[in-house]
Structure 1
Amino acid sequence: MHFRWFTTLCCAHASLLAIASLVSQASAAVDLPAELAEKFTRDVTPFVSKHCADCHDKEEPQAGLTLTTFAEAKAIVPDREHWEKVLELVSSGSMPPSDQPQPPAADVEKFTSVVQAIFDHVDKTSPRDPGRVTVRRLNRVEYNNTIRDLFGVDLRPADDFPSDDVGHGFDNIGDVLTVSPVLMERYLAAAESVSSRIITPEAPQRPNRFLSCKYVEPAGSTVPQSQYRPMTSEPKESGIETGPFFTSYMMDADGEYRFRIRCYTSAPKEQKVTVAILACGKDIVSPAGDGDIADLAGAALSGLRPFRVIARQEVTAREQKEAQNLEFTIPPMAGIERMAVALVKPGDGQPHVTLHIEWFNLEGPMDTRPRTHRELLATTAADDEAKSREVFTRFLARAFRRKPTADEIEKHVKYVASVQSSEQLKWEAAMQRGVQVVLCSPKFLFRTEPDYDPENPNVHAIDQYQLASRLSYFLWSSMPDDELFALASQNRLVDDLDNQVRRMLKDPKSQALVDNFALQWLQLQRITQITPDPEKFPNFDDRLKASMVEETKLFLREIIQNDRSILELIDADYTFLNERLARHYGIIDTMGNTWETKPRREGGQQLRGREFQKVMLGPDSHRGGLLTQASVLTVTSNPTRTSPVKRGRWVLEQILGTPPPPPPPNVPELDKEGAALTGTLRQRLEQHRENIACASCHARMDPLGFAFENFDAVGAFRKTDGSDYVDASGVLPDGRKFNGPAELKEILKTKAPQVRKALTEKLLTYATGRGLEYYDKPAVRQIVESMPAGEDRFSHLVLGIVRSDPFMLRRGKETQP
């Protein structure tokens, strides 16, 4: 057994090496125009010799990168990943390091234009490659959401599953979503638990609730304690005497009920006495209008509004011994909170009447099987096998997220029939077992995308059911809804793609993009593990931590659902605050005024309580955008102090998409260098950068981080750090200077193309469930360029992604590596 596993792993490793070799060979075989080859020899090779060779020769190359072995243009193509990084660093001014002689701008322009032209030529002449289709299982969030939308009930069984591994920053990456024996056990347990909740073979007994009328509302010390409680139509001020009498009930919105009262009237036989049954609740559907209410009696009537008159019925019993039971059917209805009985006013000229009521009785719901049972097993067929076939035809299409084959349907029908026969089960109990089988099927647990045209040699489109699943799991982290299924079944989804994307982004389920994409992209899950020093930050607590994250989530939801510009991620004139977080920020109202704002902006409402409100930020505000939100500032700090390094690295990685390499293994962290470093934090970092192994990366990170030094380790604004005034100035590697976050944001906004590209790469990685490769570069460039000039709306970015080759296409037989 162990030998077999070892052999399998070796074969897999050999396959990966073979794929890598094929990629290198294919790239190296690209035929470059003679003009590009000449320009490489003339402009790139001398540049490397003069400005890069000292640090990146083949003897002891810095960062493990050798640049002196590339004698001709086509040699850089197989090593494209490194050369893309070189291109990025040289064009941004990060390389050569600032303490080395700097090349003339004209030389930099020639170097970068030639290298970029080589890669552009490779991209244009290489065959389209949408990447490999990854068979990936549903992660925990996707499993819970799929169960919710498949059955219409929020059970969350995956909360007991092992944690999902993370790859490329996200927990939906197919390569790391393995299936362990423990997870298989949890799948089986979840399938059994879910099926037992949604199907009830033996219907429970109907609830039947009786309540003596002396205990119903209106209540008080004057309520008669007799067997029958009187209610008069006389215009008195007391609801205890005039009603309507009512009581609270918890009722299922989709259930039918029977409401009964036992009563009689003491009115003369010739006088008609009518009662009205009222369903009351603030969200009641089709409430009664003034005209319908005008003929009802009772001082308590106005306090019950809004309500709906369910029925009216005449009372014929005139003595207690003849008391009658009046019965009313309450159809399925949302919003019922109370049931009430009112007297209808006597006609003009007739005397007032008195109704005597003994009890209220509510029976139901009449069908006690859960709604999921009724909907899932709904069928018009007569015999059990035909019923199973009808149910599975409908259910498998949703569970497998595609049209099931006839063979798949028949296998499940036969399984249910065999279980029903061998174990003498009712059909409902056998179907419960059949649902368990479906929930354990790889076709449910995995997002499989079989190629229905496997012999096609060319890149071709995935089918429309697969596209519907890619869309829904990208934007909702869940299965497609009925509209997506309908369009896929009619082969109309591609034609309606733009409308569907915009609809899905506005749907509340797009909150999944905030919770599952954005929080991972911004690395904010780590805030749950952060505990700032309580002595230094005594005001920090769990409520403040939760408010910090909620601000970021509401801010991102505003951008996604209201289709705002992605550049607002860098700077915005609004945010969302509650009283606790506003106090932390020093903001006092919804116009963003602080105690120091002079003159104050008019129209602001004071922030009170835990509810979040949109707050407009003035031009003098220290906040605006992600970079100055307390959640980000806290997660990029140390427990006892700020960390310009972490904050600068975060900006490089998450906003600009240019992460620095990891630090050399032999260089100690700043806090571990002890007494060797002295002075302010800025001075200690300058001493730390004197180590040549640290200088180049810190020259990129530290200035960005120092821009936010006016914010302490929990994101509160400050002007001093201890006894020293905060210095938030910095100089970027390209020579641009700034002082504070506002000026840095203005610089970052000039890097809009880089910001778009970074976010595109992150979102495309999340959407496809795989890391991006060299062959994805053209798709990324096309997505960025497809965004309309001057507009950076979030929907434009998403539309570019869902129409890209990696999202819409699959490899053909001859493009498989």
Structure 2
Amino acid sequence: MNSGEMPPEDEKQPSSQAKTDFLDDLANVLVTARRALSDQRGVIALRRLNRREYQNTMRVLLGVNLDVSQLPADSGGPHFDTVGAGLFVTGNQFELYESMAQQALDQAFNARLAGTQPRKFRVEVETLHQLFAKKNKEGLGRLERAMKWIQAVDGAVKRPENAATVAGLRKIAANADALRYHWKKISGAPSPMQFGFDKTSEVNPAGVYVARDHAEFVQYDRYYLGLPNLDKGAYLTVATREGGGNNVTAAPGLTIPGNFPPGDYVVRIRAGATANAPADRRFIEFGLKGSKGIYTPALSTHHVTGTVAMPQVIEIPFTFSQDNIDSRFRNLFVRERGFTDGKNDERVKDAFKRNGFGPEVALWIDWIEIESRPAQDGGVPPGVRVLDIPLDAKVTNVPKEKLQGAFEAFVREAYRGVPAPAGTVERLIRIYDSRISAGKTHRAAVVQALSAVLSSPRFLYRAEPGDSASSRSLSGLELATRLSYFLLGEPPDSTLRELAVRGDLLRSEVLYAQTNRLLHHPRSGQFVRPFLTQWLHLERLDLFQFNQKLFPRFDVSMKATARDEVYETFTHLLRTNAPLSDLLRADYVVVNGLLANYYGMPGVSGDRFQKVAIPANSPRGGLLGMAAIMAMGSNGEQTNPVERGAWVLRKLLNEPPPPAPANVPEITRLAGMPLTTRERLQAHQENPQCASCHRKIDPIGIGLENFDATGMWRTTDSYVPVNAEGKRDPALKKTWTVDSSSLFYKGAAFRNYFEMRNVIATKRRNFAKGFSSALIEYALGRPCGFSDELLVEAIIKQCEAKNFATREFIHAVVQSKEFRSK
């Protein structure tokens, strides 16, 4: 039917409307059938720790941060990465887990032996002006030498005896610069080497021209050296290439001392903005250089609210992991946001034409320091603390009872409070003895034995033993493990385990209180980020690069901050127990200084995300007003109304369109035609195969057309078609006023985005149902099927009675029979 092969050509053909309706109905029936057939009816497949859960577990247990990119993929397909059916492991991958466990244990033991004494290192950056002075002297020297060589060659060109030679060269040389490339043929012309340039300049004097053409940068250095407060700090400037040399910049940095071990640190930067710094130039980027130099993605972006006279101290948490202890990865940097777009040479030249010296400085740095932070939750990680045995490699003759006690305690910690099964400790002792017999050290033998624990199924899998064909209530420890991995993505802490062992956690009121405690935990982001990323498909933000020529403000830092707005808004809903429907429409936003600057909201400063009231006519407030959500519905250059409309149907209205058929033909006749977005979408209605889905999707996409590809509000749009040569032809450019009016399929009409949003905001129950279904799948580790309809309805009914309070959804899932049983 979709390809047009049925009905056969010699049979009576259905009308377009009939075919459209039939395909719509059949597609949805097939989707429903697929859901029914895949319904697991409550059975949860055995679940391996996914990558992030494994990483979090090793951090909690041993205090180490591991690179988990080599671990088995969490192949959940369309489902969450918690769904057990996609969390399998092959036999040879146990060796990988064993190897990673040995690395983790070595790191943990090294940290234990190194002690926990605080470490602190500071760099005063005022010496950077000496670099500028040297750079300016070298640049000025290169410029003077370049001009002397050019003048000498030009003098030889003017000699009468060279007239015939020069006349012949001018036939192949387009200008004076090109003529000098043939200096060897001109009598009396000197070699560039006589003026201090390298040997390659004899063949290609391009380096001479680079030195000449970078006169602006020499002047820029002079400007910098004349700035005040260079005896106290340094200004952030653009990176430039002078005379063909390496990138040089006043980008203060810090090299982590070699005796600083992996661990958690805090980096502090004392900074201030100049008096005339524009609002959008008051942001710094912080990061780790690595092996690729300074042009690496920043780890974080920060708002500078202090001044040069009264600087502020910016504190940045930083984890120094085993993977970057190599000296190449010990260099931290600070740079002005946006000065890594490859346009710095152009930026200097343009500013030089404007003011005679180059880009004005905006940010000043006094000093940078790094200091170790106390271990999370304080003290030594539990997996190391319970090992009441020496960890030094030189130790010999450790009493067997000491080993047995240490191994038994470690197994209990690794197995999330569950005692070691019969025979486990004896097997570990045999592994230890075999390593000692093979000539290995005591420490190596301990690592080998404990790595067997950390690569065992009881550690790698969230074990809930029992017959999968029957149902039973979870034990206290099993419930503690489910709850903690649901809301923190890590093993239960001592509080949960103690309540579980006493049986108190099985009481509803205690479970309720502990759920609230975890939702307010400092690491609750380990639930918010992975859940929202997968539920809302935020990974789409990383599928393409945004055109920096069209959208220079939506750089890597802005994209990361826009994504954070989604997380921080949901976190606000959880902490304040605000209505979930605030995600559909709200009279406030949760933003920081950088995002407020992007949205044009004055009066917001700093890195902390905060609730900010917005006027009634603002397009912001709720998911649809967020830059990250709208940016996902684009290709980095133009909006994608189909993607946006389908996303709204799936995530906000809980009316997901069926998957697009693979055999629907493309609308090739529109290629290269100068059409508006609305005109292009109208073509979908001409084919029944397209119309069956697009009549529901496209109107919503049209209603969002006032947002450009990066989520900024606009009233006009334009399109430049591709010509016959496959290139964008500006002559064919079409510009139009955005018309966002349309109507929902079999629903209300709307005149603009605001009216459409109001209609969507009335669908609170639909939204709650989709959210509940997603929460059930994420929490239980299995798809939410038809057999869960009663559970979904019970959750909605409970939450509706409390105005759809966000935290109430979490409580409803946790208190449900399905969550508390296997």
**Shift of residue 735, structure 1, vs aligned partner:** 2.7
State the partner residue of 1:633.
Answer: 630
1:104-253 residue pairs with structure 2 within 5 A? 131-151=42-62, 153-180=63-90, 183-199=93-109
State the partner residue of 1:775.
Answer: 787
Amino acid at match of 1:775: S
2:527 equivalent to 1:513 = yes
Distance (whole Å) between structure 2 residues aligned to residue 53 and residue 728 of structure 1? 25
Distance (whole Å) between structure 1 residues aligned to residue 559 and residue 118 of structure 2? 47
**Shift of residue 130, structure 1, vs aligned partner:** 5.7
| Post-superposition CA distance 1:398-443 (Å, at most 9, x none) | 2112422451443345335523652466655432222111111011
Distance (whole Å) between structure 1 residues aligned to residue 675 and residue 258 of structure 2? 70
| Post-superposition CA distance 1:274-299 (Å, at most 9, x none) | xxxxxxxxxxxxxxxxxxxxxxxxxx
Bigger mean CA deviation after superposition, 672-681 or 505-514: 672-681
**Shift of residue 393, structure 1, vs aligned partner:** 3.0
* Residues 202 and 571 of structure 1: CA distance in aligned 2, closer, same or farther (over 3 Å): closer
Q: Counterpart of 2:504 in 1: which secondary structure?
A: coil
| Post-superposition CA distance 1:581-634 (Å, at most 9, x none) | 3333222223xxxxxxxxxxxxxxxx36x5644432221211011111011101
State the partner residue of 2:640.
Answer: 643
**Shift of residue 371, structure 1, vs aligned partner:** 6.9
Q: Is the 8 A contact 2:432 2:448 kept in 1?
A: no
Amino acid at match of 2:108: I
Q: Counterpart of 2:589 in 1: which secondary structure?
A: strand
- Structure 2 unaligned residues grouped into runs of 5+: 1-14, 125-256, 264-373, 391-396, 719-734
* Residues 684 and 208 of structure 1: CA distance in aligned 2, closer, same or farther (over 3 Å): closer
Q: Is the 8 A contact 2:565 2:590 kept in 1?
A: yes
Q: Counterpart of 1:667 in 2: which secondary structure?
A: coil
| Post-superposition CA distance 1:152-206 (Å, at most 9, x none) | x142242432542233332222111222467434312201101111225995799
- Structure 1 unaligned residues grouped into runs of 5+: 1-50, 68-78, 86-127, 210-216, 218-247, 255-364, 591-606, 811-817
Q: Is the 8 A contact 1:198 1:372 kept in 2?
A: no
| Post-superposition CA distance 1:250-293 (Å, at most 9, x none) | 999x9xxxxxxxxxxxxxxxxxxxxxxxxxxxxxxxxxxxxxxx
State the partner residue of 1:693.
Answer: 689
Distance (whole Å) between structure 1 residues aligned to residue 615 and residue 28 of structure 2? 50
State the partner residue of 2:714.
Answer: 718
Distance (whole Å) between structure 2 residues aligned to residue 489 and residue 440 of structure 1? 25
Higher RCO by CA contacts (8 Å cutoff, separation 6 or greater): 2
| Post-superposition CA distance 1:62-116 (Å, at most 9, x none) | 564598xxxxxxxxxxx9935999xxxxxxxxxxxxxxxxxxxxxxxxxxxxxxx
| Post-superposition CA distance 1:536-570 (Å, at most 9, x none) | 33433212212211222221221223322211111
* Residues 753 and 437 of structure 1: CA distance in aligned 2, closer, same or farther (over 3 Å): same
Q: Is the 8 A contact 2:75 2:81 kept in 1?
A: yes
**Shift of residue 640, structure 1, vs aligned partner:** 2.6
2:777 equivalent to 1:762 = no
State the partner residue of 1:796.
Answer: 808
| Post-superposition CA distance 1:103-149 (Å, at most 9, x none) | xxxxxxxxxxxxxxxxxxxxxxxxx9961121111111000000111
* Residues 479 and 450 of structure 1: CA distance in aligned 2, closer, same or farther (over 3 Å): same
Distance (whole Å) between structure 1 residues aligned to residue 542 and residue 608 of structure 2? 21
* Residues 561 and 130 of structure 1: CA distance in aligned 2, closer, same or farther (over 3 Å): farther
Amino acid at match of 1:194: A
State the partner residue of 1:312.
Answer: none
**Shift of residue 150, structure 1, vs aligned partner:** 1.3
Q: Which of residues 715, 723, 742 is equivalent to 2:754?
A: 742
2:371 equivalent to 1:378 = no
Distance (whole Å) between structure 1 residues aligned to residue 115 and residue 783 of structure 2? 54
Q: Is the 8 A contact 1:139 1:164 kept in 2?
A: yes
Amino acid at match of 2:96: R
Distance (whole Å) between structure 1 residues aligned to residue 645 and residue 118 of structure 2? 66
State the partner residue of 1:787.
Answer: 799
Q: Is the 8 A contact 1:392 1:412 kept in 2?
A: no
Bigger mean CA deviation after superposition, 427-436 or 140-149: 427-436
Q: Which of residues 658, 677, 695 is equivalent to 1:661?
A: 658
1:312-461 residue pairs with structure 2 within 5 A? 375-378=385-388, 384-415=399-430, 417-419=432-434, 421-423=436-438, 427-451=442-466, 454=467, 459-461=471-473
Distance (whole Å) between structure 2 residues aligned to residue 64 and residue 150 of structure 1? 52
Distance (whole Å) between structure 2 residues aligned to residue 54 and residue 501 of structure 1? 52
Distance (whole Å) between structure 1 residues aligned to residue 75 and residue 493 of structure 2? 27
Distance (whole Å) between structure 2 residues aligned to residue 178 and residue 534 of structure 1? 41
* Residues 196 and 61 of structure 1: CA distance in aligned 2, closer, same or farther (over 3 Å): same
Distance (whole Å) between structure 2 residues aligned to residue 625 and residue 725 of structure 1? 25
Amino acid at match of 2:740: A
**Shift of residue 764, structure 1, vs aligned partner:** 0.8
Amino acid at match of 2:705: E
Q: Counterpart of 1:623 in 2: which secondary structure?
A: coil
Distance (whole Å) between structure 2 residues aligned to residue 145 and residue 482 of structure 1? 16
Q: Counterpart of 1:509 in 2: which secondary structure?
A: coil
State the partner residue of 1:703.
Answer: 699
Q: Counterpart of 1:554 in 2: which secondary structure?
A: helix
- State the superposition RMSD in angstroms: 3.9
| Post-superposition CA distance 1:730-784 (Å, at most 9, x none) | 2112331223333223212221111110000111111111112221221111121
Q: Which of residues 482, 491, 496 is equivalent to 1:479?
A: 491
TM-score normalised by the chain length of structure 2: 0.59
* Residues 658 and 469 of structure 1: CA distance in aligned 2, closer, same or farther (over 3 Å): same
Q: Is the 8 A contact 1:505 1:560 kept in 2?
A: yes
Amino acid at match of 2:661: P
* Residues 661 and 441 of structure 1: CA distance in aligned 2, closer, same or farther (over 3 Å): same
Q: Which of residues 15, 26, 32 is equivalent to 1:81?
A: 32
Distance (whole Å) between structure 2 residues aligned to residue 509 and residue 202 of structure 1? 24
Amino acid at match of 1:695: A
State the partner residue of 2:127.
Answer: none
| Post-superposition CA distance 1:213-256 (Å, at most 9, x none) | xxxx9xxxxxxxxxxxxxxxxxxxxxxxxxxxxxx99999x9xx
Amino acid at match of 1:140: R
Bigger mean CA deviation after superposition, 675-684 or 469-478: 675-684
* Residues 53 and 807 of structure 1: CA distance in aligned 2, closer, same or farther (over 3 Å): farther
Q: Is the 8 A contact 2:106 2:447 kept in 1?
A: yes
Q: Counterpart of 1:808 in 2: which secondary structure?
A: coil
- Overall identity of the aligned pairs, in %: 31
Amino acid at match of 1:698: H
Amino acid at match of 1:376: V
Q: Is the 8 A contact 1:783 1:797 kept in 2?
A: yes
* Residues 742 and 65 of structure 1: CA distance in aligned 2, closer, same or farther (over 3 Å): closer
Q: Counterpart of 1:444 in 2: which secondary structure?
A: helix
